[in-house]
Copies of this chain bind each other. A is one copy, B any other.
Amino acid sequence: MSNEKTIPYKIYLEESEMPKQWYNVRADMKNKPAPLLNPDTLKPITHEELGNVFCDELVKQELDDTTAYFDIPQEIQDFYKMYRPSPLVRAYCLEKALGTPAKIYYKFEGNNTSGSHKLNSAIAQAYYAKKQGLKGVTTETGAGQWGTALSMACAYLGLDCEVYMVKCSYEQKPFRREVMRTYGANVTPSPSDKTAVGRKILAEHPGTSGSLGCAISEAVEAATSKEGYRYVLGSVLSQVLLHQTIIGLETKAALDKYDIKPDIIIGCAGGGSNLGGLISPFVGEMLRGEANYRIIAVEPASCPSLTRGKYAYDFCDTGMICPLSKMYTLGSGFIPSASHAGGLRYHGMSSIVSQIYEDKLMEAVSVEQTSVFEAAQQFAKVEGILPAPESSHAIRVAIDEALKCKETGEEKTIVFGLTGTGYFDMFAYGKFNDGEMNDYIPTDEELAVGFAGLPNVE
């Protein structure tokens, strides 16, 4: 047991204690995630085929499910040192406000200008693109954190950066756009008329406010239709989850430093990369029979891929040009209600996280957004950090679990991922402050429409 008095408010690792390798949890999984399939042949996609879309080194990482550790190149380690290690914070003030005997910790990834954990993978993907001698990269962004992170990484390395930003975010978040422009990125609202798939979607849905799946399609087309460009993605893919294990590895190192053993680990789930990155080292211990944890994924009730989705092969993008991935999904045609604020709006889920869930190594719950913003505000007032709406899903459940401990008197140790800050989400906070936020939950009939679009692949 840890000596309570010695635990500081913030646990920082020394530079020398920072992880030098990413951890690939697939290496320890008995049931490997199903392979990506070529959408035309329905056969497992090859290195060569993926290499048209992604950088070579990233393709290797994507397809490798046996190597447990990948060295983090020195240049990426140096970049990490600018904003990492991120603090593991003991939420003393929140514990006190809740009057709970639980011990609450959060790993805070918001102390960088992208405002989130996204930078961990952005620098890695941009680095490999640069190393391959490419001119630039294209991507999509929803809430804007990923686009900001990628534009930062590209500015640092001198790479061209083209961002397709989901139209409703582009309009609601002009300042996000401006940050990306300040970092030299070219930002286009999606769907746009710059790509064939964008023009097709615009013709079919003239008034659409866009979706992540649709922006992905545009970015992939933009990358593959010109010389010297590749596509990069901020979540969902196994390579992204690999880079994000820096979160979990640092968390585990910080906990180990003070002999703290968590009982519950909580993360918010959109595409699954932050969640997967946080939980990977802990799931690895469970897979190797070394420890046991209760792991909880939290998703929005308005986009419930784990709790109400199907575990099936599906397209990663609306345009159906990306490989098929076996995952918990609502169907690539699913678009969350316009009333849904913030990110976590992707129709599917990382294939690794999906398999972990399928194997019952993890629970999943969905929460409604006004209760999420209530938790966000409560947290902000006592812990001094205004959280991103996405991160606040994890806060909601951490508070709920801490309140259960208050009832039972259990001194559980709760760790959650605080993925980012909400400074660019004040439009949504304003709606909440004005009492104009509503909780939309899709009906079974509405979900059936998305499921009907699933491809017939076993």
Contact = CB atoms under 8 A, between A and B. Distances in A.
B8 A82 contact: no
A175 B426 contact: yes
Interface string A412-424: 0000000001011
Interface string A60-95: 000000000000000000110111000001001100
A184 interface: yes
A179 B10 contact: no
Contact of A10 (B10, B81, B385): B81
Contacts of A427: 175, 178
Interface residues of A, number: 47
A214 to B, nearest CB: 26
Contacts of A89: 82
A111 B113 contact: no
B423 A182 contact: no
Contact of A178 (B12, B385, B433): B433
Given A12-B12, A182-B380, A430-B178, A113 B82 contact: no
Interface in A74-127: 78-79, 81-83, 89, 92-93, 111-113, 115, 119
Interface in A332-389: 377, 380-386
A264 interface: no
Given A113-B423, A175-B175, 4 more contacts: A8-B81, A175-B427, A175-B430, A182-B432
Interface of A: 8-10, 12, 14-15, 78-79, 81-83, 89, 92-93, 111-113, 115, 119, 152, 155-156, 174-175, 178-179, 181-184, 377, 380-386, 421, 423-424, 426-427, 429-430, 432-433
8 contacts: A82-B89, A82-B384, A113-B386, A156-B381, A174-B426, A178-B427, A179-B386, A183-B380
